[in-house]
Amino acid sequence: MTYLEIAKTKFDNLKNKKDVLILSVESSCDETSIALVRNGREVLANIISTQIEIHKQFGGVVPEVASRNHIKNISTVLEEALAKAEVSLQDIDAIAVTYGAGLMGALLVGVNFAKTLAYALKLPLIAVSHVHGHIGANYISHKTLQPPFCCLMVSGGHTAIVRVEDYCDYHLIGSTVDDSVGECFDKVARVLGLSYPGGPNIDRLAREGKNVVKFNYKAPLQNTYNFSFSGLKTAVVNFVHNKEQKNEQFSKEDLAYSFQQLVVDELSGKTMNACRELGLDKLVVAGGVGANSWLRERLQSDCEREKIKLYLPDLKYCTDNAAMIGAIAYYYVLNGIGLADLTLTAKPTVNI
């Protein structure tokens, strides 16, 4: 039998196997991560080697540098993951990998590593969308969570409201027409002189602000579930440049506070409307911006008022990690989707 025939047979048989152990690989941006996840919910190991300190000196992720560091780290990350989980390569049922969205060179490192492992071990290779992975993070944090639910997807690459009808059945309700909310956090942080990644630093600074700063901005795209963040980003950048040119002082804390308030208003307001209109009483948050303390608090109180049950991923599963890829890969297996052959390649963008 060829590799693909063996992989296909094993893949199909996994649906009926009691325990499915998936080794998952994530390398879409600046974290090299490998996890071992059982039955989509139980994390045996989730090793993350972050490159934040390396990219900090450049003010953002340098794609070529990210790829090189993935190559440098990935074998050690695998060894650590196997040791932490106390399993051997022979115990694994399938290899899952993020094939997109992300940086092309960075993704290719993970994809080629996973292909090699799958071929050498004669195991099914499962191609996973990073966006689905962020949703999957919630199945780890909330063991009994099941679709249907409404999902607010807020990451560095995506900003969207999604109706999740079933584990692998997604319907886009609205999305950003320009920048993602994560990009907007990072750009605003940069103009305020905060280091990369900007989101957590804005989050911290905003906690010290208390006065609303008025700047030239009016929230666009009312009466739709789509978002637009580039106008807000430009308004903050113009405000800061203007102050600098005139040599006028301003409070960075208050500016971060005001910016974050506008973002959170926009995200929570539209999401509550969507839940109401779709008749969904469960809201799931996904992606790195889901770690934002203010967004988490605001969604808690808005959901309480609207009688919606809120599911927030644990902070460690909000940002990029391989466990979330292994979690959703299990549901790909149960739904018979995602089996890839050795021609699998990386994709810089994917649709939800």
Q: CA–CA separation, 50 vs 38, rounded Å?
A: 24
What residues between 147 and 176 interact with Zn ion by CB under 5 A? Answer: 155
Q: Map residues 300-339 to x or -, x wherever contact with Zn ion holds by CB under 5 A.
A: --------------------x-------------------
> For strand 94-100 and strand 21-26, is the pairing parallel, antiparallel, or unpaired?
parallel
Q: Are strands 282-286 and 149-154 parallel, antiparallel or unpaired?
A: parallel
Q: Which of residues 280-339 bind ligand KG4 (CB under 6 A)?
A: 287-289, 291-292, 319-320
Quick check: helix, strand or coil at residue 307?
coil
Q: In the chain, at which residue ranges do the beta strands (DSSP E only) sit? A: 21-26, 31-38, 42-50, 94-100, 125-129, 149-154, 159-166, 169-175, 282-286, 309-311, 339-340
In the bound complex, what is the minimum distance in angstroms from residue 345's beta carbon to Zn ion? 19
CA of 318: how far to CAs of 2, 138, 201, 228, 328, in Å? 39, 9, 16, 22, 14
Report in angstroms how near the CB of residue 220 gets to ligand KG4 at its nearest.
21
Nearest approach, Cβ of residue 294 and ligand KG4 (Å) = 8
Scan for tokens 């300190």, then name that residue: 53
Q: Which does 198 bind (CB under 5 to 8 A by kind): Zn ion, ligand KG4, none?
A: ligand KG4
CA distances to 66, 201, 327 from 51, rounded to whole Å, are 7, 17, 23
Is the CB of 112 or the CB of 260 nearer to ligand KG4?
A: 260
What is the SS3 assignment for 283?
A: strand
133 is a site residue for ligand KG4 (CB under 6 A): no
The footprint of ligand KG4 on this chain (CB under 6 A) covers a number of residues equal to: 21
**Interaction partner, residue 203 (ligand KG4, Zn ion, none; CB < 5-8 Å by kind):** ligand KG4
Q: Which of Zn ion, ligand KG4, none binds 197 (CB below 5-8 Å, type-dependent)?
A: ligand KG4
CB atoms within 10 A of CB 76: 13
**Per CB under 5 A, does 26 bind Zn ion?**
no
Nearer to Zn ion, 213 or 329 (CB): 329
**Residue-level length of the chain:** 352
Residue from the set 73, 129, 155, 176 that interacts with ligand KG4 by CB under 6 A: 155
DSSP characters over 308-345: -EEE---HHHHSS-SHHHHHHHHHHHHHT--EE-TT--
- How many residues contact Zn ion, by CB under 5 A? 2
Q: How far is the CB of 232 from ligand KG4 (least distance, A)?
A: 14
Nearest to ligand KG4 of 7, 137 (CB atom): 137
Q: Which is nearer to ligand KG4, 73 or 292 (CB)?
A: 292
Choose one: 57-65, 111-119, 149-157, 335-343; the region binding ligand KG4 (CB under 6 A): 149-157
Q: What's phi and psi for 136, nearest 5 deg?
A: -60, -25
- Extract the tokens encoding 47: 């090793």
CB 344 within 8 A of CB 57: no
What residue is closest to Zn ion based on CB? 320
Interface residue with ligand KG4 among 26, 93, 179, 186 (CB under 6 A) is 186
**Residues at the contact surface with ligand KG4, assessed by CB under 6 A:** 29, 130, 134, 155-157, 182, 185-186, 197-200, 203, 287-289, 291-292, 319-320
**Residues at the contact surface with Zn ion, assessed by CB under 5 A:** 155, 320
